Amino acid sequence: MDNLPKREMFFKPVLKSIHDLGGSGSNDEINNKVIELLAIPPELLELTHSETQSKFQYEMAWVRTMLKNQGLIENSSRGVWALKADQPLNFNFNITSKQSKRISEEIEESKSWKDELIGTITEELSPNAFERLVKRLLRETGFIQVEVTGRSGDGGIDGRGIAKINGILSFHIIFQCKRYKGKVSSNEIRDFRGAMVGRTDKGLFITTGQFTRDAMIEASRDGAPAIDLMDGEKLAEKLKELGLGVEIKIKEEVLVNREWFKNFEND
């Protein structure tokens, strides 16, 4: 495979991926399943579309949105996509150029604010300010005893905290923050894991950039302490969800009720 498949070639693999995942799945789960089904080589997955997205991620976002508009899948506020009931996997797609343009505009609009947000963080915040932002982010998501260390020679560990689950269960995590434009490699994931040994069983790696495919695989490698990854796109989405540095303005829609005015015709 020398190039990414055309968009229309992704429709059925996405539907099959969601089906194989039990009828629902997150963006990452669906993407990984499609990569497996189509055997997409790593070099194509590294093609960049923007600061926060690879070309593959952009195309997958486009396809999911189109499938949603076609009434084949739905998504929750938590970013989980699910098949609509009784929808066949061999659905024949009939997509107009108007629909295609509208979807592209919708995806580009979403990408625009994310790029602006990540650009603000990478270009206007100092490394220390970024660490404090991450500290605030973790606290807002329920972490307690969040501490930013950032000591040199500490193996890339920038801080630690305790994640609470439903207010009952808790586990210690160590996190690393990397504020830059670019991609985090598998070597950096391995180095971070090495720094975790003997300190915690769970790690969190946050970057304003992206992770290479090899880095994603390394983070979830069998037999090794798991490392959760948050790239620039996920960071932007989480800041939006929490209302941190992001304001959502609802456009006012004014409708004229013609029937209401007819009431004045009665004597």
Examine the pLDDT at 33 and tell me if it is beyond 90: yes
Where exactly are the structural domains of the chain?
Answer: 7-122, 127-242
Examine the pLDDT at 112 and tell me if it is beyond 90: no
AA identity, residue 26 = S
pLDDT of 122:
92
Average pLDDT over residues 65-91: 80
What is the pLDDT confidence band of residue 155, given thresholds at 50, 70 and 90? low
Examine the pLDDT at 135 and tell me if it is beyond 90: yes
| Predicted TM-score (pTM) of this structure | 0.78
What is the pLDDT confidence band of residue 230, given thresholds at 50, 70 and 90? very high
Examine the pLDDT at 156 and tell me if it is beyond 80: no
What is the pLDDT confidence band of residue 226, given thresholds at 50, 70 and 90? confident
Sequence-ordered alpha helix ranges (H) in the chain = 11-20, 27-38, 42-45, 55-69, 97-124, 127-140, 186-196, 213-219, 232-242, 258-262
**Alpha carbon distance 227, 174 (integer Å):** 9
What is the pLDDT confidence band of residue 103, given thresholds at 50, 70 and 90? confident
Token pair of 129 as six digits: 């300010």
Average pLDDT over residues 204-222: 92
Q: Is 30:14 a contact under the CB 8 Å cutoff?
A: yes
pLDDT of 239:
94
Q: Is 259:80 a contact under the CB 8 Å cutoff?
A: no
Average pLDDT over residues 174-201: 89
Average pLDDT, the chain: 86
Examine the pLDDT at 201 and tell me if it is beyond 80: no
127-242 folds as Trna Endonuclease; Chain: A, domain 1 (3.40.1350)
Q: Does domain 7-122 have CATH number 1.10.10?
A: yes
Beta strands 73-75 and 210-211: pairing type? unpaired
Average pLDDT over residues 156-173: 85
Among the ranges given (119-123, 128-132, 258-262), the one the predictor scored with the smallest mean pLDDT: 258-262
pLDDT of 184:
93
Q: Which three-class secondary structure state does DSSP give residue 180? A: coil
